Amino acid sequence: MDRMLAVVFDNAWKAYEGKKVLRQLDDGGTICVYGAAVVTRKPDGTISVVEDDDWPLYGTIEGTAVGSLIGLLGGPVGLAIGAAAGLVAGAAADMNKNTIGEDFVGDVAKVLLPERVALVADIEEDLTAPVDIRMEAIGGTVFRRALSEVKHTIHEEHIAAMKADLAQLKAEHAKAQAGRKAKLQEKIDQLGSKLQAELQKAKDRREASNREAQAKAELLKTKAATAKAKAAETRI
Task: State the pLDDT at residue 131.
Answer: 94
Task: State the pLDDT at residue 35.
Answer: 86
Q: Which residues pair with 41 in a beta bridge?
A: 47
pTM over 0.85: no
DSSP 1: -
Quote the CA–CA distance of 107 and 153 in Å, as a whole number.
22
Mean pLDDT of 4-24: 94
Task: State the pLDDT at residue 101.
Answer: 67
Quote the CA–CA distance of 39 and 111 in Å, as a whole number.
13
Domain boundaries in the chain?
2-146, 153-235
Task: State the pLDDT at residue 21.
Answer: 96
Task: State the pLDDT at residue 72.
Answer: 81
Quote the CA–CA distance of 105 and 145 in Å, as a whole number.
10
Task: State the pLDDT at residue 62.
Answer: 59
For 85-138, write each residue's pLDDT tens digit: 333 433 443 443 445 667 788 889 999 999 899 999 999 898 889 999 999 999
The answer to whether 169 touches 188, Cβ cutoff 8 Å, is yes
Task: State the pLDDT at residue 102.
Answer: 73
Task: State the pLDDT at residue 113.
Answer: 93
| Ramachandran angles phi, psi of 98, nearest 5° | -85, 140
